[in-house]
A = this chain, B = another copy of it.
Amino acid sequence: MGPKKKSFSEWYDYVLKEGEFIDVRYGVKGMVVYRPRGMAIVSRLYQMFESDLKERGHQQVLFPLMIGLPSFKKESDHIKGFEEEVFMVSRAGGKDLDEPMIIRPTSETAFYPMFELWISSYRDLPYRTFQSVAVYRYETKATRPLFRGREFLWIETHNLFASEADAIKHVRDDIEMMSSRLSELGIPYLVVKREPYDRFPGADQSYAYDAILPTGEVLQVATTHYLGQNFTKPFEVEYLAENGDKQYAFSTTLGIGISRILGALVSCHGDDNGAYIPPQLSDRLGVVVPILSGNGSSEVMQYVKKVYSMLPGGQFLLDDSELTPGEKYYMSELKGYPLRIEIGIKEARDSTATIFRRDTRKRKVVSLDSLPREIDLTVEEMKANLKTEAEGLIHDAASREEIIELSGQNRIIRANFCGKKPCADGIKDATGGYEVRGELFNEEQPHGACAWCGEKAVRKVILAKAY
């Protein structure tokens, strides 16, 4: 594998494949196989977010994969935004279907016809649901494993409220939940309010969670949209208000890109030795490696078994394969296990164990008695060590020259912006692809002029290259 900094792309592909997270050799473009190491992290990510959502009053549901065309076509902006990228089922049982069906690219048009049946009174609101599924989009750009594919894993919430204020409050709670989790996982990120021309089709406001990759590029890992009554009106999701009036509900949606978060985790925490998966997401805390050499071997193995029996059940893997200790070290680091317990003749004779931690790559020799406690402490330290330093990665630019210079250094740029599409296009052309990602959440209003055209600025925005 190439060094991460010099050849990120090669490094990334190598770690995903050789670390056995996913396999890209499945043979259908843009679709990958999740191998056990990758799938275990995917399961934990799902559990984490599902439990957050349930605590916030969401109920889990599951809708069909296929959506009928009439339903899909009901919200006109939405269909326009997605029609170029949907997969269609047009044959079944050896015959053409009378009417083809859409494979869900997102599920608003599946949920809303049922919401119409389920919601009747203000007492039914708020109504907060989610489903954990894969969605399908026929990407025509180059696909990149976990970052951009034609099948991706996500959670989508669909929520109804009696008032705009309740819905906006929910959007803010989404932002708090996502920010807290991305911070906890040590993924540097920005919350940006997308420019009006760049919103989700059918949304009044779109907030994106942009992870910052080591290359300086950003990767949208989740989005929250305030949909106003744009979906509830065409789908006639009405409720009887307390005062007896019929009203359309207000709605929101949150999409959490589980595949992308896995990709961001590998990218952000890895180093030249491979991946590093934070302890709370790893299916096992680590691997126990016996170091056997000639005549002390049976003594060491006996001691290893004693050590292994003291470790928390199911949390460690005893690697007693025929590989050399060096090969075992290599694999455990490549796969990103948080810890490794190394046991050789010295440890056996001294009644100790050597703990290797993946984040700092430091070793510590501890007495056997204190091993379980030392593991707990180390894990806590590792969790606390997961830093998100997004703020320090942002560089302010006040002019065209500064924007171009900073883009040449692959920086995340913040600049005053007039809000007009031609300026965004001009920036993109001149910088080899920098996009206006939107306004930072909770950013103060700008003073002065657009850094690109010099006209009055309406907001400060983030400029970055997107994956």
| Binding-face segment, A55-63, A357-365, A443-451 | A55-63
CA distance A311 to B61 in the complex (A): 26
CA distance A31 to B27 in the complex (A): 28
In the complex, what's the smallest C-beta–C-beta distance from A130 to chain B, in angstroms?
Answer: 10
| Nearest-neighbor residue (CB-CB) of A94 within chain B | B84
Which among B32, B59, B83, B321 is the interface contact of A36 at CB below 8 angstroms?
B59
CA distance A66 to B137 in the complex (A): 13
Number of copies: 2
Known: A39-B61, A92-B87, A93-B84. A117 touches B23 (CB 8 A): yes
Contacts of A140 in B (CB 8 A): 93
CA distance A333 to B34 in the complex (A): 41
Contacting pair B31 A43 (CB below 8 A): no
Q: Beta-carbon contacts of A83-97 to B below 8 Å, as 1s and 0s?
A: 111111111111000
Q: Beta-carbon contacts of A23-47 to B below 8 Å, as 1s and 0s?
A: 1011110011111100110110000
In the complex, what's the smallest C-beta–C-beta distance from A152 to chain B, in angstroms?
Answer: 11
Contacting pair A63 B114 (CB below 8 A): no
Known: A61-B34, A83-B94, A93-B140. A27 touches B88 (CB 8 A): no
Contacting pair A36 B64 (CB below 8 A): no
CA distance A329 to B273 in the complex (A): 61
Contacts of A89 in B (CB 8 A): 87-90, 103
Within 8 A of B (CB), among A271-285: none
Contacting pair A28 B64 (CB below 8 A): yes
CA distance A136 to B322 in the complex (A): 43
Contacts of A153 in B (CB 8 A): 62
Prevailing SS type, chain A contact patch: mixed
Contacting pair B26 A63 (CB below 8 A): yes
In the complex, what's the smallest C-beta–C-beta distance from A371 to chain B, in angstroms?
Answer: 26
CA distance A94 to B86 in the complex (A): 8
Interface residues on A, range: 35 or more
- Most chain B CB inside 10 Å of its own CB: which residue of A62, A68, A91: A62
Which among B33, B93, B94, B136 is the interface contact of A61 at CB below 8 angstroms?
B33
Contacting pair A60 B88 (CB below 8 A): no
Q: Is A119 part of the binding interface, using a Cβ–Cβ cutoff of 8 Å?
A: no
Contacting pair A65 B113 (CB below 8 A): no
Contacts of A138 in B (CB 8 A): 92-93
Contacts of A114 in B (CB 8 A): 23, 25-26, 33
Contacting pair B92 A86 (CB below 8 A): yes
Q: Is A418 part of the binding interface, using a Cβ–Cβ cutoff of 8 Å?
A: no
Q: Beta-carbon contacts of A70-102 to B below 8 Å, as 1s and 0s?
A: 010000000000011111111111100000110
Contacts of A195 in B (CB 8 A): none
Q: Is A155 part of the binding interface, using a Cβ–Cβ cutoff of 8 Å?
A: no
Write 6 A-B pairs (CB below 8 A) sorted by A numbering: A26-B113, A33-B62, A89-B103, A90-B91, A91-B100, A123-B321
